[in-house]
Structure 1
Amino acid sequence: MIQPAEEAFVTRWFAPGRINLIGEHTDYNDGFVLPFALEVGCTATISGRAEDWSARSLQEPDAVVVRRSGLSDAPEVAGWSRYVLGVLWLLTDRGVDVPPLEIVVDSDVPTGAGLSSSAALVCSVVRAVDDHLGLGLDDDAVFALTRDVENDAVGAPTGGMDQLVSLRGRAGHVLLCDMRSHATRSVPLDLAGAGLAVLVVDTRAPHQHSDGEYGARRRGCEEAARQLGVPALRDVAEDDLADALARLHDDELRRYVRHVVTEDARVLEMARLLDADALAEIGPHLSASHASMRDDFRITVPEVDTAVDALHQAGALGARMTGGGFGGCVIGLVPERDVAAAGDVVRRAFADAGFNEPALFTAAPQDGARPA
């Protein structure tokens, strides 16, 4: 049995939500993504002032108190608390003698917006528990635990991108992630230097990672890879795409493959442009990504398509939905001087369409998880 170090009285860690600049549904296909960490996030505060394990959220009315156990003996609890208690269940299963703890979480990431409130939650808790108990987990072990909590304790089939950037994000940079090796590299995103801004439109069309549509597309991608005889769709080169599509006999699978292969290519090309200080040239790749999500992967909804069209009309260099789809947020690369005017165009378009008023804000890359 691994014995944790003597606990401190209170430990507090913050982990951010994220915006994905480009690279949608490529993560679980062993591909490439280019997200950045946000200013908003979740703070987890841990103390030993409990008789059992207590999880409390400042955004929820009731605390959840459970006896100490492993995952196989875990009780049914509220969805948000599984992200908290799942950390303790899995550590127990791995031989850590986790003492009674009180964990309080406080998040300002909008839920249902596709900004990865869940990764902010689980990453803040894992970092705080590791620190509080003196476990000394290295970066790879921390990442693996956060992903296992979402996949195994919560049952959300995420690919790991959200957790990587919440843990490893760097101010002023996007994070190029290879989702096969989980190697990451910071790539500069100097928005202010280019006179540009990332305008985020929260369409307020609800978005959930664990719904059936996300899982269906993941299963479809896995089936397409099996039929093509490759470990994952990442292994289909863009130059070989036409041949791969011809070998598939299901139009839905062909659409999935076309999106993933071309999206991987867009991620790598955008990273190359950013490395070359050509930020103003990435716009067409953002727009092409959205068209692919809309027409091939078919994960957009009228609100996000309206926001993208309105941003283009307002002079955005490029715009796309960000996140797993079926709602959530849209981003537009907009001249900094035109942000207010672009926001007005989006609001008018939503009003004309009879949609709820969207929330708008600008975002720039921030640092990942850190003591609070």
Structure 2
Amino acid sequence: MSRSVDLKTQVISVNAPSAGHRDDRDIFATLPIKPQERYKFLRSIGFGGMKSVLLVFDSDTGREVAMAIMPDFRERPRADLERFVREAKLTAQLEHPNIVPVHDLGVDSSGSPFFTMKFLHGQSLASVLRRLKKEDPETVHRFSQLRLLQVFIRICNAIEFAHSQGICHLDLKPENVNIGEYGEVLVLDWGLARSLNPDSPVASPNVEDVDANGHVKGTPGYMAPEQIRITHEHPVGFASDIYALGGILYAMLTLSNPLAALPMEEILRRTVSGEIAPPGAAAPDDRHVPAALEAICQKAMALNPDNRYQSVAELREDIFAFQTGYVPKAENASPLKHAGMFLGRNRLIVLLLLTLILAAALATLAYYYFDAIR
């Protein structure tokens, strides 16, 4: 049974500011204050980065939702507070079937920020790939290569839409993709996302998000080279997401993260130098990697952004080409390969033509045979 919890005192565990006290954390002053009795705490879901996620019951709508909070918001720098609110507002603007929806944003009576999202059932893509690697029978049955490519296309759909709104995700990886119990695919965790539109109300500050080592924040193995070695020639942008999509496809083909099991600095070094083994060489011996998919993956993960797909739509179209028996552009196939794929797509027609030709040849031979013996 659910129980009502004072989010102000038991979940956030901070004291409200004294009367009349104001500081720069009043960035939330324009956000609505929600009555504490609206949300009933059920359990903690998890935590990571700068936020924790709770499962709560929304008494207004009568449903369970996930609530993101900043338990230590008073100790956080202003940039973190702005990023938290920006993530909520940015995600709320991305209304798409493959992007996790945000329901509510506000502060509790203590001044602690929160936002609520769809409570996700199912499992992450990362979990699916781990189970496939362990050859879990049920997972192997459910997630064939065809099924994984369908998931990948839905991820592409989400990112293509975000790009159309001028927004980059910048932390795409299997852990940030949720696969629902009934086939739903949702891209989540837009905490590092940025808007490239300077006029957007959720535009990112004109600075890079960097860690203590001077690297742009992200996940090594999926981060594009330009996220590690920042240059004016190749700024972080849409092409960085395309690289990460290639990394997700790489993981689907090999059941391992790109450059897995290497020390952090070695991962970063190989990323910026482009020293990544082709998927076919990194995949388990019993896992076939089609040449076409390997070519698509390598094009998406090209070291130079100019050599990658120039849009998510181009990447997705090459996946469609593979699925429907055409040669992807990334493969740069010979005319002979195109001819072979044409024959493969039109087996019945080719078989019928060969049958008709053979029948005509036999009829001609029979005619001359009987004509000769008369």
Larger Rg: 2
- Which one has a larger percent strand, Structure 1 or Structure 2? 1
Tell whether the structures are fold-level matches, with TM greater than 0.5.
no
TM superposition score normalised by structure 1 = 0.29
User: TM-score, normalising length from structure 2?
Assistant: 0.29
